[in-house]
A = this chain, B = another copy of it.
Amino acid sequence: MGQITTRSPFTPDSLPRLLPIEGVRFATAEAGIKYRSRTDLMVAVLDEGTTAAGVLTQSKTASAPVLLCREHLKGGAARLLIVNSGNANAFTGKKGREAVEITVEAGAKAAGCAAGEVFVASTGVIGEPLDAGKFAHLLDALVRDATPDAFELAARAIMTTDTYPKLATRTARIGGVEVAINGFCKGAGMIAPDMATMLAFIFTDAAIGSEALQALLSEHVETTFNSMTIDGDTSTSDTCLLFATGAAEARGQARVTDAADPALADFSAALHDLMRDLAIQVAKDGEGLSKFVTFVVEGAESVPAARRIALACANSPILKTAIAGEDPNWGRVVMAVGKAGEAADRDKLAIWFGPYCVARDGERAGEYDEATVAAYMKNREIVIRVNAGVGEAAAHVWTCDLTHDYVSINADYRS
């Protein structure tokens, strides 16, 4: 990792300021799991009554922490989140399960809660045994010293190849009472639908039952984190957890237990907006990227079909390298649409690069001017829009280009 010094061109000038959320406290530590001279351990301490929801990787080789989260989500209650970076504790067999058990046991003791209320996430190298002994003894002090205003420190502690921490904050009203939503995430490579190697943690003081919370999270994941891809790879560790402390109940917010309750409309919109913000931040920190790219597919038979066409574009190495080279090679868009396997009418297909129509009715547009579109390709943010010509459904996917730096970063990750 030492050689990765290039920062994303989309590194924000300043980070959003996240105000404390009642009922959540954070602490971080340098546990020396893999990295030196940086934090690699983060805990979030949650007040009693916190509900939990989660979306986890669909990988068939999911990590030990993912399996634990899946199990503990059934309880719907959370008191402690423990996250380490540097080691994914994935494909570590019996030792991996034991490391998770040691962590959970030490965490439950430190937080004075049930084991089922402890959540764990790990990110980093796959296949190396994780030594829980490196950090289990730190948990007592971390839980004790956790503070509410440490969102940025928490976000930094979970980074791996990220070049900047990713944070977002929103407010919403539930029945006239203002609630806050804060979130942070990590992820820069091995990012694709099914959550990739992304870890995302979202916290709110709203009082929402765990089933309703789960319904909202599952719905919004589709159009946010699952509509974003860096390289089409899916990690063993992807975890998105949403915690609601319920502290707003003391301020008069009536607890909501049905996701369809109109009282949640504003909250749902704000949550979606925050998740969208975080997903775009991940795509804008794609390993080695020089451009942020949005593929919009319209005129498809169904929303899943539109998303699959957009993903075929967003995961095409040959199209992504053309974008890196600022080449308006729209023929490769035609290729990617064709390979998606979804219905598309070759003779009605239309393609736009930004505002410029490059093809319509299945051939090059009459007004196409190579120099104009080539000039557009010099932008840092590129929007490519496709109309498949067979229906009304639409979807988008965010991604980035494929550059020399991507190869450099991933050819030598472990050294």
Name A residues whose Cβ lies closer than 8 Å to a Cβ of B: 57-62, 88, 90-96, 125-129, 189-190, 192, 194, 231-236, 315-319, 321-322, 324-325, 327, 329-332, 334-344, 346-347, 349, 359, 361-364, 402-404, 406-408, 410-415
Contacts and interface: CB of A to CB of B under 8 A. Distances in A.
28 contacts: A59-B335, A59-B338, A60-B337, A60-B339, A61-B335, A61-B349, A88-B331, A91-B334, A91-B346, A91-B362, A91-B363, A93-B362, A126-B334, A127-B330, A127-B331, A128-B331, A128-B364, A129-B363, A232-B315, A233-B316, A233-B319, A234-B338, A236-B338, A317-B402, A321-B406, A325-B411, A327-B414, A403-B407
Given A59-B335, A59-B338, A403-B407, 16 more contacts: A60-B341, A91-B331, A91-B349, A92-B363, A126-B331, A126-B332, A126-B334, A129-B363, A231-B316, A232-B315, A233-B332, A233-B339, A236-B334, A317-B317, A324-B411, A329-B413
B233 A129 contact: no
Contacts of A318: 189-190, 231, 233, 410
Contacts of A362: 91, 93
Given A321-B407, A407-B404, A127 B364 contact: yes
A contact patch SS: loop
Nearest to A92: B363
A61 B331 CA distance: 10
Nearest to A309: B60
Contact of A346 (B58, B62, B321): B62
A317 to B, nearest CB: 4
B128 A321 contact: no
Nearest to A408: B404
| Most chain B beta-carbon neighbours within 10 Å: one of A194, A317, A327, A412 | A317
B335 A233 contact: yes
Contacts of A334: 61, 90-91, 126-127, 236
Residue of A88, A93, A349 with most chain B CB atoms under a 10 A cut-off: A93
A411 B322 contact: yes
A190 B320 CA distance: 12
Contacts of A412: 325, 327
B233 A336 contact: yes
